[in-house]
């Protein structure tokens, strides 16, 4: 866990999503800056800039703006449907980590080998941490391998594994986290990738090493809402209590 711990010295780091919502590019950028300031101000440990509502150009514009704000938080990137562009942006801007929704299990064997080779080359050339999913929400399972084998392979391809259940906002299955821990032998950190709330934070963080949070920080706790400071503050208070009790 050394590279992960070097980047995130605080126990149980919380990484917050910037989904880049807004009616046009200017609105997306303005909302991203506002939400970044709110979440960094409430003490999140990292910001994940993702084209959930935007596109790769919006991600780059947000990276340029937010990396210049001097916020006391790590910056990450997830370019959905274009992993290669995430590495390009990580080389161009001060990006601390890259998230890829699936690093193993989602491809048929004939496609997995070239994917793995390309990922290894990109990862070797990058200073950024790689956070990767296995059996991630909405991703197909096409490998033909048992879950434990996909998890072990995924662990070798990244610096931390992100674990989710089946959909956005759904609490992550703790039995699944336990299976991932067993399959990796504790060799990589495991991050909750969906469904963390202040109500379940203690239970979830008892078995995981951190989390990525999106919808819960937003109005109505829905992905379509705007980030609300009170939601961020409440969850971060719960996380600080977990850290003190550890």
CA dist 79 and 51 (Å) reads 6
pLDDT of 177 reads: 97
pLDDT of 164 reads: 95
pLDDT of 208 reads: 97
For the chain, the 3-state helix, strand and coil shares in percent, each to the nearest 5, are 45, 15, 40
Q: What is the pLDDT along the chain (246 residues), one digit of tens a residue?
A: 579 999 999 999 999 999 999 999 999 999 999 999 999 999 999 999 999 999 999 999 999 999 999 999 999 999 999 999 999 999 999 999 999 999 999 999 999 999 999 999 999 999 999 999 999 999 999 999 999 999 999 999 999 999 999 888 899 999 999 999 999 999 999 999 999 999 999 999 999 999 999 999 999 999 999 999 999 999 999 999 999 987
Does pTM surpass 0.85? yes
In Å, how far are 43, 164, 208 from 73, measured between CA atoms? 8, 24, 21
In Å, how far are 25, 78, 91, 96, 122 from 53, measured between CA atoms? 11, 12, 23, 22, 26
pLDDT in tens, 66-121: 999 999 999 999 999 999 999 999 999 999 999 999 999 999 999 999 999 999 99
pLDDT of 169 reads: 85
For tokens 């662990």, name the residue. Answer: 155
DSSP result, 3-48 = HHHHH--SSS-EEEEE---SSSHHHHHHHHHHHHHHHHHTT-SEEE
């Amino acid at each position: 866990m050394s590279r992960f711990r070097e980047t995130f010295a605080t126990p149980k780091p919380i990484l917050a999503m910037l989904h880049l919502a807004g009616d046009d590019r200017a609105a997306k950028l303005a909302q991203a800056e506002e939400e970044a300031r709110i979440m960094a101000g409430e003490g999140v440990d990292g910001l994940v800039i993702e084209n959930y509502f935007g596109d790769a150009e919006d991600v780059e514009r947000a990276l340029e703006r937010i990396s210049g704000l001097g916020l006391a938080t790590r910056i990450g990137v997830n370019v959905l449907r274009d992993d290669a562009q995430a590495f390009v942006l990580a080389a161009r801007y001060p990006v601390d980590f890259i998230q890829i929704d699936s690093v193993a299990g989602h491809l048929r064997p004939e496609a997995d080998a070239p994917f793995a080779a390309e990922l290894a080359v990109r990862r070797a050339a990058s200073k950024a941490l790689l956070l990767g999913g296995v059996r991630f929400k909405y991703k197909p399972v096409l490998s033909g391998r048992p879950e434990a084998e996909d998890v072990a392979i995924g662990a070798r391809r990244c610096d931390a594994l992100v674990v989710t259940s089946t959909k956005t906002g759904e609490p992550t299955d703790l039995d699944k986290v336990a299976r991932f821990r067993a399959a990796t032998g504790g060799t990589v950190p495991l991050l909750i990738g969906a469904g963390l709330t202040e109500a379940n934070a203690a239970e979830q963080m008892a078995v995981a090493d951190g989390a990525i949070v999106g919808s819960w920080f937003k109005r109505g706790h829905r992905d379509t809402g705007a980030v609300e400071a009170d939601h961020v503050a409440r969850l971060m208070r719960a996380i600080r209590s977990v850290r003190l009790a550890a």
